[in-house]
Structure 1
């Protein structure tokens, strides 16, 4: 087999970074929401975090060195042997045994599935960064399956489909869409669409639908499903119904056209990941007073969302080196405790517009600014803070603003606009 990096035709540095940023979890992938599943390496039936960390390290080494699966297998089995995780069964065949639970994980052959699934996810996430960085000039993405005798019918049905990079289709069907999925995405320019007479599809309520499915244990779940023109319904494997690139990728919006960056922020705040993050945080808050076991906890990197872009005029007014504004999960955790009367995800829908086109701006202390805009849900206030030494601008708070509170701002702060 060719080296993975060359087989997938992309610089390995981005895949390596993705792997390095992944957490590890002993929680079952099927029990996680898409947002969490996309941020961790987890392997069914392994409950030992040291073993999981060793698998992650071996994957990173393979990506860095461009080694094949055979070398990955040799390296990880050697480590497992030394750690006492590898034993022989009654027939003399090697088995991997969880030292914590004593459960037999399976034969080393399962390592190939681990390797190919996680490496494909890593390179797909890295390629997503490259595609997004060229979205202004090549905004149309085409789904591409290998289309050989090993291609699954569902993946073959998607092959050739073209959607804009910001179409909801990619929130679910950006590959990989299952274990050992080999599908990729190709970016096309407007001239490619015209020259080849390609039809650009658009997601609607008719072709991107929610379908109730039943897993092997008999539990039902909702699966976002693509309905082809011939009526065929296509879903991802369970646990793969998210965009591995988008969930983990946050671009440097300073490198983008301002309007395109603002469009990204709107999509980020209204996207499935943001909603899933809010739901998880609300659940964690509701359980805060209960005793929580550390078993199965996820080790994950911090999450942030693109909240909006300052207009060129307002960036100059604030004397800011940067234009992109970000919203962290830490701020969300504090904010959603006070949101009442509406769902949290809808509460934030107009935040990008409040940041981009505020009707009033007030200057506070320590590089803080109050941005105010009348929205569909009333007068909203976004408080932002400029970072020092070209660091990111962060949202400090976002809330409804009463007339009395506005009067206090006008009295206590310097009005710039």
Structure 2
């Protein structure tokens, strides 16, 4: 029995986009992490209704019975209930079972279990220094599949490749979980740590068939054999949902867990999950706020400081400065768009301002300015983005974050080379 999903799990669900699909196999594995979808739902209003009800039910601990009771009349109102003749995207007519109590129950359970394990994975990654050993735990009752008992009580380090595919859930109706143990608990319980490297076999299996065309979709599956039997991932489940959702960088996950502002945390998850969507959202925000009167200290996620860059900065200054999450405030955007920049010819155009998040994501060069800031350069080295890592910026809501303090055209790249040569700039990443 799953408890109410932790906040991070709910935030993960809220960060998902939408995707219209006809068959469930059209969106497999990591694609599910990025977008909420329900097979045969071809209207955005219906998909949004189901998604909002699902997130609300998981966030508030609503029972399956209550979830179905509340959602059924809404879907009936939208004419999306029972068996109907529906036209797919290719113009083919097909009689399909739209929503039903059984299907709604599956939707809720699947989203609940994936959200639960996203939150659990993030929490366990956050604590790997103290609890680096992960144990697979199956529910042993009459409903448990025999294959799942093959891993029951088996112990592997958190960074063992087995967790790339066997971290739950890895099939429909999955109830297994992973628990983390410390070195002390490991020895106390007399447990042995195994290694899976080289023993995981990958194959392809049929995931589904399009009834109208006969087209088959195949998906990767993994098999792993222990002294208790063989466990296999289901088609479409051959991945670690937690790792796909929040990444495997321990430092990032720890910072993510510390962010109290839930809206920002959802944006951060979205940035990890779906960078292109995040860039588009950042672009929209920039264009809405450029030239706006009465700029405030409110902000938006602009990107991340990588672990390598953060460690390099901390080593240079002799203390931990970088918060790793970069944001752009309305005031900083207004400053970058100031009259001073206009008259000096260094003001970026709207599209260049909107590209700041992309520059941070894939810089050609990153340097540390000994005056106290990080500088990111775009691919052509014609734009520089300065980041204040002091954490002193007064933001609303309050967070200790790295702030993008300026962005402008670079008129003379030779001046950058001179700063590097004179050791005023320290190269952290990329080539000058």
TM-score, normalised to structure 1's length?
0.63
2:344 matched residue in structure 1:
none
2:201 matched residue in structure 1:
209
Matched, 1:16 2:10: yes
1:104 matched residue in structure 2:
96
Provide closer, same or farther for how the CA distance between residues 161 and 406 of structure 1 changes in structure 2, counting only shifts above 3 A. Answer: farther
Provide closer, same or farther for how the CA distance between residues 368 and 334 of structure 1 changes in structure 2, counting only shifts above 3 A. Answer: closer
1:241 matched residue in structure 2:
238
Contact kept, 8 Å, 1:37 with 1:239, in 2: the verdict is no
Deviation at 1:235, TM superposition (A): 2.5
Describe the SS at the equivalent of 2:226: coil
2:54 matched residue in structure 1:
59
Provide closer, same or farther for how the CA distance between residues 131 and 303 of structure 1 changes in structure 2, counting only shifts above 3 A. Answer: farther
Matched, 1:183 2:176: yes
How many angstroms apart in 2 are the aligned matches of 1:129 and 1:219? 35
Provide closer, same or farther for how the CA distance between residues 131 and 409 of structure 1 changes in structure 2, counting only shifts above 3 A. Answer: same
1:303-322 matches, cutoff 5 A: 307-309=306-308, 310-311=310-311, 314=314, 317=317, 321-322=321-322
1:367 matched residue in structure 2:
373
Provide closer, same or farther for how the CA distance between residues 134 and 73 of structure 1 changes in structure 2, counting only shifts above 3 A. Answer: same
Matched, 1:330 2:358: yes
1:6-405 matches, cutoff 5 A: 7-9=1-3, 12-27=6-21, 28-32=23-27, 34-86=29-81, 94-95=82-83, 104-106=96-98, 108=100, 109-205=102-198, 207-217=199-209, 219=216, 221=218, 223-230=220-227, 233-249=230-246, 253=251, 307-309=306-308, 310-311=310-311, 314=314, 317=317, 321-322=321-322, 324=324, 330-331=358-359, 362-363=368-369, 367-369=373-375, 385-386=387-388, 389=393, 390-392=400-402
- Which runs of no fewer than 5 residues in structure 1 stay unpaired? 1-6, 87-93, 258-273, 282-301, 339-353, 356-360, 372-382, 395-403
How many angstroms apart in 1 are the aligned matches of 2:130 and 2:176? 23
Deviation at 1:52, TM superposition (A): 1.3
Contact kept, 8 Å, 2:160 with 2:197, in 1: the verdict is no
**Mean alpha-carbon deviation: is it higher for 101-110 or for 48-57?**
101-110
Describe the SS at the equivalent of 1:38: helix
Contact kept, 8 Å, 1:368 with 1:384, in 2: the verdict is yes
Contact kept, 8 Å, 1:85 with 1:98, in 2: the verdict is no
- Which runs of no fewer than 5 residues in structure 2 stay unpaired? 210-214, 256-271, 278-300, 327-355, 378-384, 394-399, 405-413, 428-432
Provide closer, same or farther for how the CA distance between residues 254 and 239 of structure 1 changes in structure 2, counting only shifts above 3 A. Answer: closer
How many angstroms apart in 1 are the aligned matches of 2:426 and 2:304? 27
TM-score, normalised to structure 2's length?
0.62
**Mean alpha-carbon deviation: is it higher for 118-127 or for 94-103?**
94-103
How many angstroms apart in 2 are the aligned matches of 1:97 and 1:303? 45
How many angstroms apart in 1 are the aligned matches of 2:194 and 2:241? 22
Provide closer, same or farther for how the CA distance between residues 231 and 167 of structure 1 changes in structure 2, counting only shifts above 3 A. Answer: same
More relative contact order, 1 or 2 (CA 8 Å, 6+ apart): 1
Provide closer, same or farther for how the CA distance between residues 46 and 139 of structure 1 changes in structure 2, counting only shifts above 3 A. Answer: same
Provide closer, same or farther for how the CA distance between residues 124 and 100 of structure 1 changes in structure 2, counting only shifts above 3 A. Answer: same
Provide closer, same or farther for how the CA distance between residues 332 and 35 of structure 1 changes in structure 2, counting only shifts above 3 A. Answer: farther
How many angstroms apart in 2 are the aligned matches of 1:80 and 1:180? 24
| Aligned alpha-carbon RMSD (Å) | 4.5
Describe the SS at the equivalent of 2:150: helix
How many angstroms apart in 2 are the aligned matches of 1:235 and 1:332? 39
How many angstroms apart in 2 are the aligned matches of 1:74 and 1:35? 31
Contact kept, 8 Å, 1:48 with 1:98, in 2: the verdict is no
